[in-house]
Amino acid sequence: MTETTSNKQAAVQPENDSKGRRVIIRTVGLRKSFVMKGVVTEALRGIDVSIYQGEFIAVMGPSGSGKSTFFNMIGALDSPTVGRVFIDEVDVAQLTAEELAYLRCHKIGYIFQSYNLIKYMTALENVTTPMAFGGVMPDEARERGMSLLELVGLKERWHHRPIEMSGGQQQRVAIARSLSNNPSVLLCDEPTANLDLHTGQEILELLQKLNKENGVTIICATHDHRMMNICDRLMWIRDGHIDRIADRADVHIEIGGIDSH
């Protein structure tokens, strides 16, 4: 840890809410607009949200509502047009390139909606690449990579390249990859979208286990209603706004109200 970093962290005291929960990701007035051929699309129109350490939050919303854009912002993968993102109370905009790389490599795991696997690498190589970037020795990386592939049920396919696998299989490789450096936060963009009921269920159980046993904070965009059974909180996004945030317990009381959103 460099001196600058520790200074940055020391500068702001971790903010705990009334229930004593520690805020791990916080956004302030987050806006993002894309300009394409002179047409401005406002994907996010002011998002203020705090996500707590160790919680499992499901993000829901219709297609095009800005879920993926929101994920890219809080995962330090894209720069907001207006507003700020704090990760553990450090302003992401203040980080150096090396610190950003470290953060993306070790602390946050990403499961992309379009998988974004590297085409010329085998499943195993895809899973071990973040480990290599993180300085893990090749032998150890290989061993851990294999056990991660086993976890998602693809141990036998470790030498296959992405084009040789089905969409669901690729998604599972992407999930294994996101776990390669034991992240503190897992950002999942529709992790079960391409999976059959059974495999989807297994992945959900895996996420739940990571959340409960390892204390990984999970932020998960989804259309999958089963997610509601395991998440702590639900957040609805519509047209780049937060439509509603509610604890699961509260949502369950008003049965039937969910689908309307």
**Identity of the amino acid at 228:** M
* Residue closer to ligand ATP, measured from CB, 78 or 91: 78
By CB under 6 A, name the one of 27, 66, 105, 236 that touches ligand ATP: 66
Asked if 65 touches ligand ATP (CB under 6 A), the answer is yes
Interface pick for other proteins out of 46, 83, 134, 168 (rule CB under 8 A)? 134
Q: Does 43 bind ligand ATP (CB under 6 A)?
A: yes
Do 176 and 152 meet the contact criterion of CB atoms below 8 Å apart? yes
From the list other proteins, Mg ion, ligand ATP, none, pick the one residue 120 interacts with, judged by a Cβ distance below 5 to 8 Å according to partner type.
other proteins
167 contact choice in ligand ATP, Mg ion, other proteins, none (CB below 5 to 8 Å, kind-dependent) = none
Number of H helices, E strands in the chain: 9, 10
The one segment of 57-65, 111-119, 193-201, 241-249 that binds other proteins by CB under 8 A: 111-119
User: Can you name the residues that pair with 26 across neighbouring β-strands?
Assistant: 50, 86
* Residue 79 interacting with other proteins (CB under 8 A): yes
3-state secondary structure 222-235: CCCCCHHHHCCEEE
**Which of the ranges 131-139, 152-160, 164-172, 189-197 carries the binding residues for other proteins, by CB under 8 A?**
131-139
Instruction: List the single partner that 5 binds among Mg ion, other proteins, ligand ATP, none, CB under 5 to 8 Å by kind.
Output: other proteins
Q: Which is nearer to Mg ion, 113 or 194 (CB)?
A: 113
* Sole binder of Mg ion in the list 5, 50, 113, 116 (CB under 5 A): 113
Rounded Cα distance, 24 and 12, in Å:
13
Count of Cβ atoms closer than 10 Å to residue 149 Cβ: 23
Site membership for other proteins, residue 185 (CB under 8 A): yes
Dihedral over Cα of 145, 149, 217, 64: its sign: positive
Contact flag: residue 206 with other proteins (CB under 8 A) = no
d(CA 52, CA 155) in angstroms, rounded, equals 34
Between 19 and 119, CB nearer to other proteins:
119
Tokens of 30: 């987050």
69 lies in the site for ligand ATP, by CB under 6 A: yes
> How are beta strands 217-221 and 185-189 bridged, if at all?
parallel
User: Please, are residues 44 and 70 in contact by the beta-carbon 8 Å criterion?
Assistant: yes
What is the rounded CA–CA span in Å between residue 218 and residue 221?
A: 10
Which residues of the chain form contacts with ligand ATP (CB under 6 A)?
34, 36, 41, 43, 61, 63-69, 113
